Amino acid sequence: MNFRLITFALAAVTLFAQGPGEPRMHRMATPPKTTEVQSYLNLTDAQIATLQQLRESERAALKPIFQQVRPLRQSLRELRQSADPDATAVGKLVLSIQTLQQQAAPIRSSFQQQAQAVLTADQKTRLAALQTAAGLMPAIHEATALNLLSPPKGMAGPDGLGPEMMPRRRFGGPR
pLDDT 10s digits, 66-107:
999 999 999 999 998 988 888 999 999 999 999 999 999 999
Q: How far is CA 18 from CA 101, 124, 139, 149, in A?
A: 8, 21, 21, 29
pLDDT 10s digits, 143-166:
999 999 998 777 665 445 555 554
Residue 158 lies in a domain: no
Residue 170 lies in a domain: no
Per-residue confidence band for 15, with pLDDT thresholds at 50, 70 and 90: very low
Would the pTM count as exceeding 0.85?
Answer: no
Residue 55 lies in a domain: yes
Residue 92 lies in a domain: yes
Q: How many domains does the chain have?
A: 1
Polymer length in residues for the chain: 175
Q: Which domain holds residue 104?
A: 17-120
Q: Which residues pair with 168 in a beta bridge?
A: 174
Separation of alpha carbons 12 and 34, rounded Å:
21
Separation of alpha carbons 145 and 168, rounded Å:
16
Residue 21 lies in a domain: yes
pLDDT 10s digits, 18-55:
444 444 444 555 667 899 999 999 999 999 999 999 99
